Structure 1
């Protein structure tokens, strides 16, 4: 499945390079209009990232997220600064089908494990953003990628797997927003090690050939952001490539 992404700051569609708020590009399309366009091109799911909420949960753009989820005929997953059960419940009540949890999964695995047990693995996407070390180990980063941890992705996943984790979104930070190709080898390794999980790849996709390679290596879903906004290809073209890969 291909999932177009809309990143939100102050009600506007933006993209960041490698998660850096000082490297922001703002796009003209309104979030609602863009979501409707993606639906018309054939999208089934939409990935919403509340960057205001990521910086400060009190600034979460819940009214806008609710409008998109309830107005556009797309199933939505959304995240950005989800740190408490209240945050999670508010998003579910807004019409979001899957809530994306990131740093809290690394920092408080027992809390996220409890959420998985209570709400079910189908309602939660564990997002793990990674820095790739020279030896190839993928280490999780937290706090909007500003803080590195000493935990490899395998250590982060271990306690979550036994509590019902089903969906994992993995972003190679070095590739995010850079349009220099996806880290195909990373997703191939992860899918081989954890075939029971539904993997969402994120970061670096620049061409439909990148999509073809990811599908051929067993990746379940791909998040598409900057490549669509920059017009590298249309979602309709991407979906045709994905279906035929």
Structure 2
């Protein structure tokens, strides 16, 4: 499926270029009308990145998230600064269906593994953002892309498969927000190695052909952020393309 995405700072819809808070563009003062338009177009899920929560969990935009959850027919998956179980509980209590876990999967894999037991495989998405080395190896980045770990994408995935890992959102950092197309080789490799996983591709969509290429390699889902906000194509066009590819 196609999953539209909204990044939020102080309740406003923004985009950061390659995760840099100094390169921020504001697209809307209120996320609800945009999200309602996505729902009307046929989206079943909305991906929300709480950038305030990512910087400081105490500033998580719970009121905004709850407003979206109550007003929308879509299911929500939300990420940004989830560091302890109370963060998860707070999100689920305000109506979020899936929590997106990033850096913590590398920093505290034992804790994150326990959450698969507590909440189930469908309630947790591992967001694994990668930097591609010269030899083609994908290394997982942490701390809002400020640090690159010594763990490969495959090593992190293998760590969580026994715990029940099902959903993986993978972003090639070099592609994010650049409108240069997806790293289809990366997703093809993941689908070949781990056919049991539900892979969400993120970073780079610029034209409908990018979606056709993803569909051709049997990628399960694509996150659409900047391409929709900047009018590269509409969600209606994207959904028609995805269904017909």
Mapped to 1, the partners of 2:67 and 2:79 lie a distance apart of: 15
TM-score using structure 1 length? 0.99
TM-score (norm 2): 0.99
Please state whether the residue corresponding to 1:223 is helix, strand or coil: strand
SS of residue in 1 equivalent to 2:179 = coil
Call closer, same or farther: CA 1:184–1:142 in 2, change over 3 Å.
same
1:139-158 correspondence to structure 2 within 5 Å: 139-158=139-158
How many Å apart are 1:69 and its aligned residue? 1.0
- Alignment of 1:220 with 2:217, yes or no, is no
Q: Which residue of 2 aligns with 1:94?
A: 94
Q: Specify the alignment match of 2:80 in structure 1.
A: 80
Cα RMSD after superposing both structures: 0.7
Q: Give the whole-Å Cα distance in 2 for the aligned partners of 1:28 and 1:131.
A: 30
- Deviation, structure 1 residue 29: 5.3
Q: Deviations over 1:7-39 (max 9, x none)?
A: 000110001111111111101352011110101
- Following the alignment from structure 2 to structure 1, what is the Cα–Cα distance between the partners of residues 156 and 213? 26
1:2 and 2:2 matched: yes
Aligned to 2:64: 64
Alpha-carbon distance in structure 2 between the residues aligned to 1:154 and 1:108: 17
Number of paired residues? 245
Q: Residue 45 of structure 1 aligns with which residue?
A: 45
Is 2:31 the partner of 1:34?
Answer: no
Q: Structure 1: which 4+ aligned runs deviate by more than 6 Å?
A: none
Question: What does residue 103 of structure 1 align with?
Answer: 103
Q: Distance in 2 between matches of 1:190 and 1:25?
A: 32
How far residue 117 of structure 1 moved from its aligned partner, in angstroms, is 1.1
Residues 36-55 of structure 1 deviation map (CA, whole Å, 9 limit, x = unaligned): 01011111100000000000
Aligned to 2:213, the other structure's residue is in SS state helix
The Cα of 1:159 is off from its aligned counterpart by: 1.9
Structure 2 distance, partners of 1:236, 1:4, is: 11
Asked if 1:160 corresponds to 2:166, the answer is: no
Is 1:195 aligned to residue 195 of structure 2? yes
Matched position secondary structure for 1:162:
helix
Structure 2 residue matching 1:131: 3-state secondary structure: strand
C-alpha displacement at 1:157, in angstroms? Answer: 1.2
Q: Is the 8 A contact 2:14 2:28 kept in 1?
A: no
1:186-230 per-residue CA deviation (whole Å, 9 max, x = no partner) reads 000011000000000000010110000001101000000000000
